[in-house]
């Protein structure tokens, strides 16, 4: 009889729990116990790291060979969305500057002897890493003004007013890198085409950051211009290949010039 009563009580508890409104059942679930007294595990909540990774997956720049977010150091898992947006703004800005710098290295070294270039007095020469010291008065003043105007505009468009809790942060509605500057109307209206174009910009900017670092390191070590270094390498490889052929057919070997021996 007692066993029958316990079974009936258990069934009535289950039925009562099932007949409760959804709001009451939700309250019971949140408390962590059912009507019968059993523990209910809490529902998993999305962490801040998951939110950051979902945002990164939606951004331009995620492409092969890294089809997912490339973050080997796990920086995104220990950061918040505000920091991630600021880093993305920094990456895009540095990529754009690096693309201009890499192009400037190559163009500057090739046009330093051209009469129409800003070298009318012949004082700019040699590797591009030393052009900075050779430029005279009249060039840096307008350049600094132009940089100041561009940076002031970027800050006004994208950066929030500094406050005690929002210092060094972007505006919530601002898309990192998008300043509305498109005089040639190149940015597509289609979202997929727009994301593809932005991905190309970011990837080229990443490559340019690596390239300009390599340019500077190479010129510091070898004290030669970029194309001069490239052509000297080609010349050395061609002479070495010719030496192999001459050695095979028994001809005198072509000596390697002194300036190529240390390359």
Bind-site residues for chlorophyll a: 91, 94, 200-201, 204, 206, 218
72 vs 90: CA distance, rounded Å = 19
Per the annotation, where are the binding residues for chlorophyll b? 53, 96
Cα separation values, 86 from 48, 160, 169, 226, 228, Å: 16, 11, 7, 33, 39
Distance CA 258, CA 199 (A): 46
Smallest CA-to-CA distance from 215 within 124, 113, 130, 147 is with 130
Alpha carbon distance 142, 135 (integer Å): 13
Annotated binding site: 53, 91, 94, 96, 200-201, 204, 206, 218
Do 171 and 158 touch, CB atoms closer than 8 A? yes
Pick from 197, 202, 187, 166: which is nearest to 90 by CA?
202
Per the CB < 8 A criterion, the answer to whether 17 and 9 are in contact is: no
């Amino acid at each position: 009889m007692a066993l029958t009563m316990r079974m009936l009580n258990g069934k009535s508890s289950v039925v009562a729990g099932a007949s409760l409104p959804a709001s009451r059942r939700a309250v019971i679930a949140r408390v962590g116990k059912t009507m019968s007294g059993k523990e209910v595990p809490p529902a998993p909540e999305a962490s801040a790291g998951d939110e950051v990774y979902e945002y990164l997956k939606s951004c331009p720049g995620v492409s092969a060979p890294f089809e997912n977010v490339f973050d080997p150091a796990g920086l995104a898992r220990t950061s918040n969305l505000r920091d991630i947006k600021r880093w993305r703004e920094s990456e895009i800005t540095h990529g754009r500057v690096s693309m201009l710098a890499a192009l400037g290295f190559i163009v500057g070294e090739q046009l330093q002897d051209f009469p129409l270039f800003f070298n009318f007095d012949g004082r700019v020469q040699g590797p591009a890493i030393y052009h900075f010291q050779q430029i005279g008065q009249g060039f840096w003043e307008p350049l600094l003004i132009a940089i100041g105007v561009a940076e002031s505009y970027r800050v006004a468009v994208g950066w929030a007013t500094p406050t005690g809790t929002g210092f060094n942060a972007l505006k919530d509605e601002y898309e990192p890198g998008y300043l509305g500057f498109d005089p040639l109307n190149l940015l597509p209206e289609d979202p997929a085409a727009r994301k593809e174009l932005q991905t190309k910009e970011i990837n080229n900017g990443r490559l340019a950051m690596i390239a300009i670092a390599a340019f500077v390191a190479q010129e510091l070590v070898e004290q030669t211009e970029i194309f001069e270094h490239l052509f000297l390498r080609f010349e050395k490889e061609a002479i070495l290949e010719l030496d192999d052929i001459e050695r095979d057919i028994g001809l005198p070997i072509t000596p390697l010039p002194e300036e190529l021996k240390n390359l």
